[in-house]
Amino acid sequence: TKRIILKDKDHPDIEQLREPAKILREGGLVAFPTETVYGLGANALNEEAAKKIYEAKGRPSDNPLIAHIADFDDLLPLVTEVPEAGRKLMEAFWPGPLTLIFPKSGLVPYGTTGGLDTVAVRMPADPAASALIRLAGVPIAAPSANTSGRPSPTTADHVWQDMNGKIQMIVDGGAVGIGVESTIIDVSGDEPMILRPGAVTQEMASAVLGKEIFLDPAITSGPLKADVRPKAPGMKYKHYAPKADLTLVEGKEETVAAAINKLVQEKVEAGYRVGVICTDETLNLYPQGMRRSIGSRLQEESIAHNLYAVLREFDDLNADCIFSESFSRNHLGQAIMNRLTKAAGYHIIQV
Ligand code: TXA
Ligand code: MG
């Protein structure tokens, strides 16, 4: 796997991007940065290329891919219709961390959509992603560039750990900005619905639509029951799973720290390698265990930004169990808690 380091990721040098664009156009795999997480790109209109993505990730092939575009004109060939809600959301949030689900056109192969008659489309804001897609000249299917079941990659090193030897190239643009995957909103049905929370929050989308938009009940109801099918097929898989057993502890700050310290003490005495996920504000409250701050409570963005890197770090440290503080479920906190509760297999202790 070849790795190219972008000289200036905010003003990408087109010469540097010619080779990855050519690989993509010709059906190969290239990982590249976006503002949310690193993507594993392939030509979205080439079913064979899509197949290679599933192989490299070890991902079930009924899990559909997002087609990434660079310009508004690139949308129309992929869809049969742009519903009113979709138009409003695009105008407000594209380019940016929002994926919209539309009825698909005949141009998009079922190999890309996992057999669905809808297609997920996103226009990333990252200048390197945008330039690369434009140069490739085709929509780029790109799931997160992690091995299926591992935390999404937020640096090129994370991608390297999972994909070295499995793909042609990694475009290294340093650490991403947001750190959690895009918000997914389905606008193909009668009522728009959030299928995955992200940096375009429920509050932001509701404000643009002029009425409240809701989350797919399947993703808020805790562990999935056999009869509940989330509309985004990817949400049903065990995702973002750290190797260690992760437990979230929810309650008032002082109570949480006391409860976590007690749990850590028990596990340490039993001989386990124990991790603690806390914040800049609470780091000093934990005398034992491998403590990592996930960011500042005063800045939710920092928590989203560090979340997957912290989970991967505990994998590298071979932690057996991790106890984590919890966060509010408003605004960006909804996406943060969605990822954390899934990583914890819905194991939450209320104190
Ligand atoms: O931020 C992101 O969206 C990143 C970057 C690389 O753009 N990509 C990403 O892709 O997170 P992935 O494949 O890891 O997640 C895509 C999600 C999956 O849960 C999938 O099931 C859902 O989108 N999805 C894709 N197409 C869909 C469709 N037609 N209907 C419903 N859900 C769909
Ligand atoms: Mg993913």
What is the per-residue pLDDT across 100-147, written as a single tens digit (0 to 9) for each?
999 999 999 999 999 999 999 999 999 999 999 999 999 999 999 999
- Which ligand lies nearest to the CA atom of residue 40 in the structure? 1
Task: Give this prediction's pTM.
Answer: 0.96
Which residue, judged by its Cα, is nearest atom 33 of ligand 1?
Answer: 232
Question: DSSP letters along 244-302, please?
Answer: SEEEEEES-HHHHHHHHHHHHHHHHHTT--EEEEE-TTTGGG--SSEEEE--BTTBHHH
Cβ–ligand 1 distance for 130 under 6 Å, the answer no
Whether the ipTM is more than 0.90: the answer is yes
What is the per-residue pLDDT across 158-206, written as a single tens digit (0 to 9) for each?
999 999 999 999 999 999 999 999 999 999 999 999 999 999 999 999 9
Q: What value, to the nearest 5°, has the Cα angle with vertex 250 and ends 248 and 253?
A: 120
Cβ–ligand 1 distance for 234 under 6 Å, the answer yes
CB-CB contact of 213 with 194 (8 Å): yes
